[in-house]
């Protein structure tokens, strides 16, 4: 059996490579690091996390939790690894970034059917069975090759990452450990604002100077909106967004604070904290000046400042078949955020699907799509259905078809949707997967 090619060792590429390898295929996995790095990537390891260390909610009755539960049924390498390097994050699954990347890299290296080649791919051979999982920061030469095969124009947008501060530089006397509504084991450090301090912070934020502009159209995905851009929508925009105080009580007053900034543990040792929701494109000096106005961060040491970079994705409704293969080039499959699957776990799940569809193609049978009642099935249909204003989509309960019965209680309705999805996915796997 000839080898199949997987381009990119991010989450989607690693899932695709291991899935294909365990289905009996010889896989050549290409990764350009360490010979070449994108603007956002720094380590040599696979599955490097950039924007966040959180994989979102773990509860199966949540959209993110349901997605992960479905992926576990397929034997996800990313979730196997995440379980072993999780850090406390309330009801979410968050990981130590370094340990996560090291774990995925080791698991891929241990697969006898995978050959890793550390070199850049600049062109796609449409005759070779291939999964393109080069990510939203695909280098120009490879992107040009992909887009030439697509016959349709790609879309691009900007993505932003939040700053990280060292734990020992946080003024512990001014922060309060708690999770919203008491969920979790006080996994977040909370910085509470009264009204005057919040308004001073907001004013400084909207007046702060951004980094020099890029040479691309400034189109930002809503889920990664820079905090300063969101703040310019109005004085209360961030207070009802990433700084919402709901579910928190300031022990100094016994009341809900006017606004709150949450700090989430960045690694297992708890030596670094991420400023949750504070993706930004401010100049580094401005980040230091403005974010030091957050109570408890007056003397914060910034381990990493927020950065902004270009993300690229396909106009998938125009370019992809329902099985993630390129229209007109059935040997070339695309996986991950390039397709419009938005989010770390969504991207990884897309890698599993692409690999299984490629396996079906090589076995001479049509790829059976997961039921639309499942999260993966609904996301797949969303990105490939006709859409004149296509944008990336992450896991959410709103894209699942409604239940046959009306359930008014939201929690009970989500539980029923999740139970149906997992039941249908198990049946799909038993009937269609080797």
> In whole angstroms, how far apart are CA 376 and each of 40, 125, 131, 336, 354?
27, 28, 18, 12, 11
In-domain check, residue 52: yes
- 356 token code pair: 């299984």
Domain boundary among 283, 310, 337: 310
pLDDT at 178: 87
The verdict on 11 and 121 lying in the same domain is: yes
Contact indicator for 280, 308 with CB cutoff of 8 Å: yes
- 406 token code pair: 């009306």
pTM across the whole model: 0.79
The verdict on 168 and 98 lying in the same domain is: no
Pick from 39-53, 293-307, 341-355: least confident: 39-53
The verdict on 411 and 388 lying in the same domain is: yes
pLDDT at 91: 82
Q: pLDDT tens across 5-58, in order?
A: 999 999 999 999 999 999 999 999 999 988 777 666 677 889 999 867 788 888
In-domain check, residue 74: yes
In-domain check, residue 90: yes
CATH code for position 245: 2.40.30
The verdict on 84 and 125 lying in the same domain is: yes
Q: Which structural domain range is residue 93 located in?
A: 4-154+314-432
What's the domain count of the chain? 2
The verdict on 318 and 412 lying in the same domain is: yes
Q: pLDDT tens across 167-194, in order?
A: 989 999 999 998 877 766 667 899 999 9
Task: Tell whether omega for the bond before 34 is within 30 degrees of 0, i.e. cis.
Answer: yes
The verdict on 298 and 321 lying in the same domain is: no
pLDDT at 223: 66
The verdict on 176 and 303 lying in the same domain is: yes
Q: pLDDT tens across 406-434, in order?
A: 888 888 999 999 999 999 999 999 998 77
Greater pLDDT, 1 or 229: 229
pLDDT at 410: 84
In-domain check, residue 204: yes
Q: How far apart are CA 279 and CA 390, in angstroms?
A: 23
The verdict on 301 and 351 lying in the same domain is: no
The verdict on 375 and 282 lying in the same domain is: no
> In whole angstroms, how far apart are CA 241 and each of 190, 228, 246, 260?
15, 12, 10, 10
Greater pLDDT, 109 or 42: 109
Q: Is the pLDDT of residue 317 over 80?
A: yes
Domain boundary among 252, 283, 310: 310
Domain boundary among 276, 310, 344: 310
The verdict on 245 and 351 lying in the same domain is: no
The verdict on 15 and 32 lying in the same domain is: yes
The verdict on 338 and 253 lying in the same domain is: no
In-domain check, residue 159: no
CATH code for position 363: 3.50.50.60
């Amino acid at each position: 059996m000839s080898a199949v090619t997987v381009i990119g060792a991010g989450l989607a590429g690693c899932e695709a490579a291991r899935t294909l390898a365990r289905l009996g295929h010889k896989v050549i996995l290409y990764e350009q690091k360490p010979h070449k790095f994108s603007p956002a990537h720094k380590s040599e390891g696979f599955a490097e996390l950039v924007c966040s260390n959180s994989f979102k909610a773990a509860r199966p009755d949540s959209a993110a939790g349901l997605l992960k539960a479905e992926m576990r049924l397929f034997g996800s390498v990313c979730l196997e690894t995440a379980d072993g390097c999780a850090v406390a994050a309330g009801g979410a699954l968050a990981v130590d970034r370094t340990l996560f990347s090291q774990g995925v890299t080791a698991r891929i290296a241990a697969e006898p059917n995978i050959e890793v080649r550390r070199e850049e791919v600049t062109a796609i051979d449409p005759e070779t069975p291939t999964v393109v999982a080069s990510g939203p920061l695909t280098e120009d030469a490879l992107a040009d090759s992909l887009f030439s095969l697509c016959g349709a124009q790609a879309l691009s947008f900007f993505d932003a990452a939040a700053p990280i501060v060292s734990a020992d530089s946080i003024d512990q006397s001014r922060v309060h450990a708690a999770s919203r509504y008491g969920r979790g084991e006080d996994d977040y450090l909370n910085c509470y604002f009264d009204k005057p301090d919040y308004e001073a912070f907001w004013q400084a934020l909207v007046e702060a100077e951004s980094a020099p502009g890029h040479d691309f159209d400034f189109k930002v995905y809503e889920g990664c909106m820079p905090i300063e851009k969101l703040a310019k929508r109005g004085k209360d925009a961030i207070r009802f967004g990433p700084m919402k105080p709901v579910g928190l009580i300031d022990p100094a007053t016994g009341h809900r604070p006017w606004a709150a900034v949450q700090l989430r543990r960045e690694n297992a040792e708890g030596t670094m904290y991420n400023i949750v929701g504070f993706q930004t494109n401010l100049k580094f000096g401005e980040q230091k000046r403005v974010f030091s106005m957050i109570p408890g961060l007056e003397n914060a040491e910034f381990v990493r400042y927020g950065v902004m970079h270009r993300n690229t994705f396909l106009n998938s409704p125009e370019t992809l078949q329902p099985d993630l293969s390129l229209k007109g080039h059935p040997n070339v499959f695309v996986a991950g955020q390039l397709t419009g699957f938005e989010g770390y776990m969504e991207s990884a799940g897309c890698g599993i699907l692409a690999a299984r569809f490629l396996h079906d193609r090589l076995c001479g049978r049509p790829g059976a799509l997961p039921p639309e009642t499942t999260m993966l099935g609904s996301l797949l249909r969303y990105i490939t259905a006709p859409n004149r204003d296509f944008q990336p989509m992450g896991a959410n309960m709103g894209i699942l078809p409604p239940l046959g019965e009306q359930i008014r209680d939201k929690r009970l309705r989500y539980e029923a949707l999740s139970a149906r999805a997992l039941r249908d996915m198990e049946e799909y796997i038993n009937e269609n997967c080797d």
